[in-house]
């Protein structure tokens, strides 16, 4: 299954210049990070062999007032309709693209804080190489555009999606301005598929809720680099009640997680999120987080 996306707010990163997501996605208010880039100006060399991505500027959107813009330039990477409209509303005067397919597209937004001047925000190019999307953009003031009220300037772009994606980088005038971890990634996520298979495979064990009152299950999960898994579960208070299942796993598009039984009905999917190389967190069938610590397995 080529494209498996987390359709949840957890998969949204709305991050300012140089912002980095927390180790685990949270349900905190949508706000661009106030962190400054470690290197705010880095000379960019266009990667050889990069794939040129198609994109188009989209009208009909505006940022909700709940979205904070603390940085001179703020960047948004939106990966699902749910996350999209948590941050963005449609204008009444202009209709945005309808029925966007988030298996094939992501939406990029670039926004400036409110001022009494208007700015033209353009995406000049987008390239993909080594799991990274690089976006070149340009911002210019619009002449004679002073208004008597304050309003944010923003540009929205529908971009061709790739698989996998680990980072989205923003450049202007050949200089790196922001490097954003894609999707649910954290600093301990696999760097690439090879890293996932070499460093994150093995046997994980822990006690997980069984769904029955006051009943836990001893759970052992064995992940193999050939994309197979074995899952063994037994009731803590009755080891004669045990279960074993086998199947295939597939990484998510951002390589932050794997999905067990991806080739079965969606209700049977099990999302496993890598907190680090030795800890997995068990999400539900839609990729939503269940509980911070109760659903974790350790190597």
Domain limits of the chain? 9-181, 193-298
- Per-residue confidence band for 96, with pLDDT thresholds at 50, 70 and 90: low
Instruction: Tell me what pLDDT residue 143 has.
Output: 85
Q: What's the CA gap between 16 and 67, in Å, rounded?
A: 11
DSSP secondary structure letters along 117-143: S-EEEEEEEEEEETTEEEEEEEEEEPT
Quick one: 1 exposed, middle or buried, by C-beta within 10 A (0-12, 13-18, 19+)? exposed
**Phi and psi for 11 in degrees, rounded to 5?**
-85, 0
Comparing 49-58, 69-78, 97-106, 171-180, the range with the smallest average pLDDT is: 97-106
Task: Report the pLDDT averaged over residues 37-41.
Answer: 39
- Per-residue confidence band for 98, with pLDDT thresholds at 50, 70 and 90: low
Comparing 34-43, 211-220, 225-234, the range with the smallest average pLDDT is: 34-43
Task: Report the pLDDT averaged over residues 149-172.
Answer: 93
Q: What's the CA gap between 95 and 110, in Å, rounded?
A: 19
SS3 at position 115: strand
Comparing 98-107, 128-137, 208-217, the range with the smallest average pLDDT is: 208-217
Comparing 42-56, 58-72, 234-248, the range with the smallest average pLDDT is: 42-56
Task: Note the helical H segments in 51-187.
Answer: 81-87
Give percent of the chain with pLDDT exceeding 90: 53
**Phi and psi for 219 in degrees, rounded to 5?**
-120, 130
**Phi and psi for 87 in degrees, rounded to 5?**
-105, -20
Q: Bigger pLDDT: 217 or 1?
A: 217
SS3 at position 220: strand
C-alpha closest to that of 255 among 203, 189, 162: 189
Task: Report the pLDDT averaged over residues 272-296.
Answer: 84
Q: What's the CA gap between 75 and 169, in Å, rounded?
A: 10
Give 216-261 pLDDT, tens digit per residue.
889 999 999 999 999 999 998 887 889 999 999 999 999 999 999 9
Q: What's the CA gap between 249 and 262, in Å, rounded?
A: 6
Select from 3.40.640.10, 2.40.50.100, 3.40.50.300, 2.40.128.640 the CATH code of 193-298: 2.40.128.640
Which residues fall within 8 angstroms of residue 211, CB to CB, at 6 or more apart?
none
- Per-residue confidence band for 94, with pLDDT thresholds at 50, 70 and 90: low
Task: Report the pLDDT averaged over residues 168-190.
Answer: 95
Instruction: Tell me what pLDDT residue 201 has.
Output: 98
Residue 52 pLDDT exceeds 80 = yes
Which residues fall within 8 angstroms of residue 209, CB to CB, at 6 or more apart?
215, 216, 217, 294, 295
């Amino acid at each position: 299954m080529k494209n498996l996306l987390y359709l949840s707010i957890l998969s949204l990163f709305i991050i300012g210049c140089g912002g980095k997501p927390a180790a685990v996605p949270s349900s905190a208010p949508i706000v661009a990070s106030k962190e400054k880039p470690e290197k705010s100006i880095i000379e960019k060399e266009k990667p050889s062999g990069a794939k040129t991505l198609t994109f188009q500027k989209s009208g009909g959107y505006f940022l909700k007032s709940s979205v904070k813009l603390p940085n001179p330039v703020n960047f948004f990477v939106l990966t699902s309709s749910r996350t999209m409209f948590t941050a963005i509303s449609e204008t009444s005067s202009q209709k945005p693209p309808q029925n966007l397919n988030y298996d094939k597209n992501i939406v990029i937004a670039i926004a400036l804080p409110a001022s009494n001047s208007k700015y033209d925000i353009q995406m000049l190019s987008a390239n993909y190489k080594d799991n990274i999307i690089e976006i070149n953009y340009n911002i210019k003031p619009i002449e004679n555009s002073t208004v008597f009220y304050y309003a944010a300037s923003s540009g929205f772009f529908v971009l061709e999606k790739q698989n996998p994606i680990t980072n989205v980088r923003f450049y202007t005038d050949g200089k790196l301005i922001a490097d954003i971890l894609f999707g649910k990634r954290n600093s301990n996520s696999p760097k690439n598929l090879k890293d996932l298979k070499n460093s994150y495979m093995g046997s994980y064990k822990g006690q997980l809720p069984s769904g029955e009152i006051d009943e836990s299950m001893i759970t052992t999960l064995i992940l193999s680099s050939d994309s197979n898994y074995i899952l063994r579960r037994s009731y803590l208070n009755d080891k004669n009640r045990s279960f074993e299942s086998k199947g295939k796993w597939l990484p998510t598009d951002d390589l932050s997680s794997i999905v067990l039984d991806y080739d079965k009905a969606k209700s049977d999917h099990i999302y496993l999120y890598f907190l680090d190389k030795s800890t997995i967190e068990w999400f539900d069938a839609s990729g939503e987080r269940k509980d911070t610590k109760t659903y974790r397995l350790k190597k």
